[in-house]
């Protein structure tokens, strides 16, 4: 096998070794078989292009085309032309699978199931990486530069694998990369040995490329150290820092908000500027309960409001206790407040969460693992890297509090510490929020009646509508935009009511979690990502933290019975209304779950109907930009070299450097140790005809004489125009003798351009 063949094989092995770590985030083995096939086809296509002596650029373009063909064969043979060629129908089918794969990523926790769409994403991604690695390592002969590309593949496993990635997978990835670097080093060492043994001029200008090019050298060693160091840091440091590995993002895209993301958990940072994207339909929890109407499942409360984002207050270790020591007393709950003990038995499905979902207030929790509870909020959080795991079960006892409207209306003021913490607002809070709150409650001064007025205003009398889109950012404050547009989703309703309640002096916070879910026929309940929800909790002494529901009923059903303030003295029929109100959520929870499904389906149809050509064009432009970078860098250096040559000596040196660089790009070895006269003699010998010197011999002689005159003070010099013409004449003659692959590389992917880019990169790193 040739050195190029060994290098190409090592490149394929490096990609497969790195991709093997994705076993931690994708279930089954079928995906890896398809990855092996895709990488093998990419590598074989490159080898075939080399065997046919096609130009380097042709091989680089043939590989992604071959990858597309193998994707059609593996995933959409029924839609492909002749079962393998990518026609319009096949491309539409592939795009539909891409959307399906995205839904799997957004809707499941790692390890995700190997659905066809997900396998297509993994196979296409690995194949694309194989193309890049092959071009960089084999065509550009810069294998050390493939480290960041392979590291990106390893980072996928690092970020999303439950519990992180073991050192074995990291070692396998590094071993693959080192094998690639070693294969290149071995071929260069062998070539160097042959040149030492031969020590005679070539019979023609077409010689081995020699030691020009990237090499391993000091730059390669430095690159190796840098890549290994970055990978080591990433393997250890990335998992605790990435939200997807420790918390769920309930809004896809930017990692903030409330919605299903790749890790199936809930992010406690609620960003009011984020749109609520489709969360997918992954089941995150199932449970059985003794409650006729289950409560929402709270994961965490957030009370620190910056003006745009809600986040949890930093937990004071003095306010936490180990969950195994039992649940603390319910804050603010009086002994005589009506309550009913309700039991829940949960089974974790796809949820990967550091906070434990429980109905509020939980008075008893039995769960395996190391968990702590915040005594001021009853938030239950895992210690270290513990997260909920599929199949995990835990039991919860809830004190289902059912305060009467009269009790809430007559509640005394909150303790000073509670009022201080939960009525705090940013100093730059727009006055419109305070004024709107005052306008809504009118002259009412009772805090419970004020809260009830706020809830009714959002749900019915204020003209608000539920939307998955965040309000248009017309002002500097998202809540002001929400009040003006009167459209938004649960985060906006909960946030606006909590903030407006605080302006009225009512302690308030926002809870994040899930609606009760859908009742199944066997008596169990199912909670999916579409049930993700946020709601405000307001504090009333004696009842503690009380849930309100300002989000319109199309999403959440009827508001809690205790939040319905009487407009007249309570009558004996009130309990009937209350029972009616509490019975509704059983069906409404299904409605709430179904509504986003319709929206998601519509969005999916729109996405399937319209291929994102703009995104594809951007990707194409980036790829073309990367491929054009070596040629652009060589052209820039040549122009700069000639423009700075202000003297005869400088022009002679510029012409000689230009000649040597272009001859080297054509694959002709011109060792730096040779003198100009030796180089000239070799060029003349290579260009010589059988019947005598070549037509370019005078041009070679003029160039040699000019550079010798500049360096040693012997001979004369010509003007820059004449020297440039001589360079073009000699290079043109060498081009005519070189094979097509060498000339195309000289035209499109010159090795000197790659060397310039590498040198500039090292300079930037030194400056940094």
589 part of a folded domain = no
Average pLDDT, stretch 432-440? 94
pLDDT surpassing 90 at residue 91: no
Q: Which pair of structure tokens corresponds to residue 290?
A: 């003794």
CB 515 within 8 A of CB 588: no
Secondary structure class of 609 (helix, strand, coil) = helix
Residue at 755 is within a domain: yes
Per the domain annotation, does 325 fall within a domain?
no
Q: 344 has which bridge partners? A: 289, 396
Closest CA relative to residue 718, chosen from 734, 698, 748: 698
Mean of all residue pLDDT scores within the chain = 75
Give the tens place of pLDDT for each residue, 103-124.
666 555 566 667 777 788 888 8
Rounded distance, CA 361 to CA 465, Å?
30
pLDDT, mean of residues 422-441:
93
Q: 514: which strand partners?
A: 297, 532
Note the maximum CA span of the chain.
122
Burial of 64 (0-12, 13-18, 19+ CB in 10 A): middle
State the average pLDDT over residues 382-392: 82
Handedness of CA 71, 74, 78, 83 (dihedral sign): positive
pLDDT digits (tens, 9 = 90+) for 204-215: 443 444 433 333
Question: For residues 554 and 613, which has the higher predicted lDDT (pLDDT)?
Answer: 554
Going by pLDDT thresholds of 50, 70 and 90, the confidence category of residue 612 is very low
pLDDT surpassing 70 at residue 184: no
Sorted by sequence, the CB contacts under 8 Å of residue 20 that are 6+ apart come out as 32, 169, 172
> Above 80 in pLDDT, residue 1?
no
Q: Which one is predicted more confidently, 297 or 471?
A: 297
In terms of Cα–Cα distance, which of 581, 734, 569, 720 is closest to 663?
A: 734
Q: At what angle do helices 574-583 and 585-609 cross, to 10 degrees?
A: 40
Highest-confidence segment of 245-249, 540-544, 745-749: 540-544
Query: What is the radius of gyration, based on Cα positions, of the chain?
Result: 35
Question: Are residues 765 and 738 in contact, defined by beta-carbon separation less than 8 angstroms?
Answer: no
Secondary structure (DSSP) of 330-357: PTTB-TTS-EEEEEEEEEESS---SBPP
Q: Which of 241, 263, 298 is the last residue of a domain?
A: 241
Given a cut of 50, whether residue 154 has pLDDT beyond it is yes
Mean pLDDT of all residues in 757-767: 69
3-state class (DSSP) for residue 415: coil
From the list 357, 344, 114, 157, the residue with the least C-alpha distance to 250 is: 357
Cα–Cα distance measured from residue 510 to residue 258, given in angstroms and rounded to the nearest whole number = 12
Mean pLDDT within 10-37: 82
| Two structure tokens written together for 658 | 């230009």
Number of domains in the chain: 2
Considering 92-96, 226-230, 277-281, 311-315, the range whose residues carry the highest mean pLDDT is: 92-96
Domain membership of residue 641 (yes or no) is yes
Residue 129 has a pLDDT of 87
Q: Write out the two tokens for 58.
A: 């042709």
**Closest to 223 in 3D by CA, of 131, 136, 153:** 136
Least confident of 312-316, 432-436, 517-521: 312-316
Of the candidates 222, 241, 260, which is a domain's last residue?
A: 241
Domain final position from 210, 241, 272: 241
- Flag the least confident range among 130-144, 325-339, 383-397: 130-144
pLDDT band of residue 101 (cuts 50, 70, 90) is confident
Interval 246-267 mean pLDDT = 41
The stretch 83-88 carries a mean pLDDT of 78
pLDDT exceeds 80 at position 706:
yes
The structure tokens 């939980």 sit at 362
| pLDDT score at 255 | 36
| pLDDT above 80 for 698 | yes
Q: Is residue 201 part of a domain?
A: yes
Give me the pLDDT at residue 395, please. Answer: 96
What pLDDT, on a 0 to 100 scale, did the predictor assign at position 766?
A: 65
Average pLDDT on 427-438 reads 92
Counting every residue written for the chain, the total comes to 768
**Is the per-residue pLDDT at 272 higher than 70?**
no
3-state DSSP helix/strand/coil % of the chain, to nearest 5: 55, 10, 35
Q: Is the pLDDT of residue 197 over 70?
A: no
Looking at the chain, the whole-number percentage of residues with pLDDT higher than 70 is: 72
C-alpha to C-alpha distance for 717 and 648, rounded to whole angstroms: 6
Which among 93, 122, 100 is positioned nearest to 30, based on CA atoms?
122
Residue 139 has pLDDT above 70, yes or no: yes
> Which residue(s) pair with 298 in the sheet?
358, 513
Q: Rounded mean pLDDT of 507-515?
A: 93
pLDDT band at 230 (very low <50, low <70, confident <90, very high): very low
Which pLDDT value is given to residue 359? 95
* Alpha-helix runs per DSSP H in 584-675: 585-609, 613-643, 648-665
Higher pLDDT, 521 or 368: 368
Q: Is the pLDDT of residue 719 over 80?
A: no
| 398 within some domain | no
Three-state SS at 301: strand
pLDDT band with cut points at 50, 70 and 90 for residue 435: very high
User: CB–CB of 104/112 below 8 Å?
Assistant: yes
- When pLDDT is cut at 50, 70 and 90, the band that residue 366 belongs to is very high
CA 422 to chain centre: 35
CA-CA-CA-CA torsion sign (160, 162, 163, 168): negative
Residue 228 has pLDDT above 60, yes or no: no
Question: Is 674 or 636 the better-scoring residue by pLDDT?
Answer: 636
Distance CA 695, CA 699 (A): 8
pLDDT digits over 472-493, tens only? 778 878 889 899 988 888 889 9
- Residue 472 tokens read as 């248009």
Report the C-alpha gap between 252 and 259 in whole angstroms: 6
pLDDT at 582 over 80: no
**Percentage of the chain lying above the pLDDT 90 cut:** 20
- Distances in whole angstroms, Cα of residue 102 to Cα of each of 95, 120, 260, 592, 727: 11, 10, 12, 23, 54
pLDDT for 107: 53
Give the residue from 455, 419, 425, 429 showing the smallest Cα distance to 440.
Answer: 455
What's the N-to-C CA distance of the chain in angstroms? 42
For residue 576, pLDDT beyond 50: no
Give the per-residue pLDDT at 186.
53
Asked if pLDDT for residue 619 goes beyond 90, the answer is no
Cβ–Cβ < 8 Å for 116, 74:
no
Both tokens assigned to 207: 């010689």
Tell how far CA 479 is from the center of its chain.
28
Most confident listed range (310-324, 504-518, 647-661) = 504-518
DSSP conformation letters of 680-704: HHHHHHHH-BTTB--TTHHHHHHHH
Asked whether the predicted pLDDT for residue 199 surpasses 60, the reply is no
Express each pLDDT in 314-345 by its tens digit: 667 778 899 999 999 999 999 888 899 999 99
Quote the Cα angle for 106-239-39, to 5°: 65
Q: Which residues contact 698 (CB under 8 A, 6 or more apart)?
A: none
Mean pLDDT across the stretch 208-224? 40
pLDDT at position 467 over 90: no
* pLDDT value, residue 611: 41
338-352, 663-677, 718-732: range with highest mean pLDDT: 338-352
Q: Which residues contact 212 (CB under 8 A, 6 or more apart)?
A: 664, 669, 670, 751
Q: Which range among 289-298, 420-429, 637-646 shows the weakest confidence by mean pLDDT?
A: 637-646
* Cβ burial 174-211 (10 Å sphere, 16+ → b, else e): bebbbbbbebbbebbeeeeeebeeeeeeeeebebebbe
Report the 10 Å Cβ neighbour count for 487. 18
Q: Which of 50-54, 559-563, 626-630 has the highest mean pLDDT?
A: 559-563
Query: d(Cα 355, Cα 323) in Å, to the nearest integer?
Result: 12
Q: What is the pLDDT of residue 7?
A: 75
Question: What's the rounded mean pLDDT across residues 741-752?
Answer: 75
Domain that residue 632 falls in: 615-767
pLDDT value, residue 58 = 77
- pLDDT of 183 above 80: no
**What is residue 627's predicted lDDT score, i.e. its pLDDT?**
65
């Amino acid at each position: 096998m040739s050195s190029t063949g060994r290098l190409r094989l090592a490149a394929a092995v490096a990609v497969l070794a790195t991709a093997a770590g994705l076993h931690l985030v994708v279930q089954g083995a079928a995906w890896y078989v398809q990855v092996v096939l895709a990488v093998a086809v990419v590598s074989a296509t490159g080898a075939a292009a080399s065997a046919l002596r096609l130009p380097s650029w042709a091989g680089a373009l043939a590989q992604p085309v071959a990858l597309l063909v193998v994707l059609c064969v593996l995933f959409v043979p029924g839609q492909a032309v002749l079962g393998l060629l990518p026609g319009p129908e096949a491309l539409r089918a592939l795009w539909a699978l891409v959307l399906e794969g995205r839904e799997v990523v957004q809707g499941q926790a790692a390890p995700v199931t190997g659905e066809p769409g997900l396998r297509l994403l993994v196979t296409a991604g690995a194949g694309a990486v194989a193309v890049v690695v092959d071009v960089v390592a084999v065509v550009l002969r810069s294998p050390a530069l493939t480290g960041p590309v392979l590291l990106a593949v390893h980072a996928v496993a690092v970020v999303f694998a439950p519990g992180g990635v073991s050192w074995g997978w990291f070692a396998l990835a590094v071993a693959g990369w080192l094998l690639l670097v070693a294969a290149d080093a071995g071929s260069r060492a062998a070539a160097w040995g042959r040149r030492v043994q031969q020590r005679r001029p070539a019979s023609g200008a077409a010689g081995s490329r020699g030691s020009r090019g990237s090499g391993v050298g000091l730059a390669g060693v430095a690159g190796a150290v840098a890549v290994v160091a970055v990978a080591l840091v990433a393997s250890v440091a990335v998992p605790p820092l990435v939200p997807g590995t420790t918390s769920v993002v309930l809004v896809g895209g930017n990692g903030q908000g409330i919605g299903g993301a790749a890790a199936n958990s809930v992010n406690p940072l609620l960003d009011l500027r984020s749109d609520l994207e489709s969360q997918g339909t992954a089941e995150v929890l199932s449970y059985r309960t003794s409650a006729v109407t289950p409560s929402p499942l709270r994961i965490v409360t957030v009370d620190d409001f910056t003006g745009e984002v809600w986040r949890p207050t930093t937990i004071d270790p003095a306010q936490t206790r180990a969950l195994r020591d039992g649940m603390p007393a319910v804050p603010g709950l009086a002994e005589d407040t009506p309550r009913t003990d309700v039991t829940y038995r949960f089974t974790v499905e796809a949820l990967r969460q550091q906070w434990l979902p429980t109905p509020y207030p939980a008075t008893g929790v039995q769960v395996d693992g190391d968990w702590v509870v915040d005594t001021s909020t009853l938030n239950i959080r895992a210690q270290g890297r513990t997260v909920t795991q599929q199949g995990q079960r835990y039991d919860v006892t809830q004190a289902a509090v059912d305060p009467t409207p009269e009790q809430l209306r007559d509640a005394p003021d909150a303790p000073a510490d509670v009022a201080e913490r939960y009525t705090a607002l940013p100093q730059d809070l727009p006055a419109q929020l305070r004024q709107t709150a005052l306008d809504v409650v009118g002259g009412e001064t009772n805090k419970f009646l004020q809260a009830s007025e706020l809830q009714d205003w959002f749900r019915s009398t204020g003209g608000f509508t539920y939307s998955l889109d965040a309000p248009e950012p017309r002002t500097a404050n998202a809540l002001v935009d929400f009040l003006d547009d009167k459209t938004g989703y649960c985060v906006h309703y909960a946030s606006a009511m909590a903030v407006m309640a605080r302006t009225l002096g009512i302690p308030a916070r926002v809870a994040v979690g899930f609606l009760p879910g859908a009742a199944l026929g066997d008596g169990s309940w199912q909670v999916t990502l579409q049930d993700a929800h946020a709601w405000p909790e307001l504090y009333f002494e004696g009842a503690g933290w009380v849930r309100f529901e300002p989000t319109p009923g199309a999403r959440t059903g009827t508001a809690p019975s205790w939040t319905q303030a009487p407009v007249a003295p309570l009558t004996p029929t009130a309990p009937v209304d209350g029972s009616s109100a509490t019975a509704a959520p059983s069906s409404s929870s299904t409605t709430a779950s179904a509504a986003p499904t319709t929206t998601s389906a519509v969005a999916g149809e729109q996405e399937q109907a319209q291929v994102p050509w703009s995104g594809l064009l951007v990707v194409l432009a980036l790829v073309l930009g990367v491929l054009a970078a070596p040629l652009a860098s060589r052209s820039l250096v040549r122009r700069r070299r000639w423009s700075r040559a202000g003297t005869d000596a400088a022009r002679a040196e510029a012409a000689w450097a230009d000649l040597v660089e272009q001859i080297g790009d054509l694959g002709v070895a011109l060792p730096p140790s040779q003198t100009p006269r030796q180089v000239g003699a070799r060029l003349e010998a290579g260009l010589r005809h059988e019947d005598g010197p070549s037509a370019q011999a005078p041009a070679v002689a003029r160039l040699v004489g000019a550079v010798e005159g500049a360096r040693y003070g012997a001979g004369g010099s010509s003007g820059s125009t004449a020297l440039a013409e001589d360079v073009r004449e000699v290079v043109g003659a060498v081009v005519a003798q070189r094979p097509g692959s060498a000339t195309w590389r000289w035209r499109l992917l010159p090795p000197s351009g790659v060397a310039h880019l590498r040198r500039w990169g090292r300079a930037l790193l030194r400056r940094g």
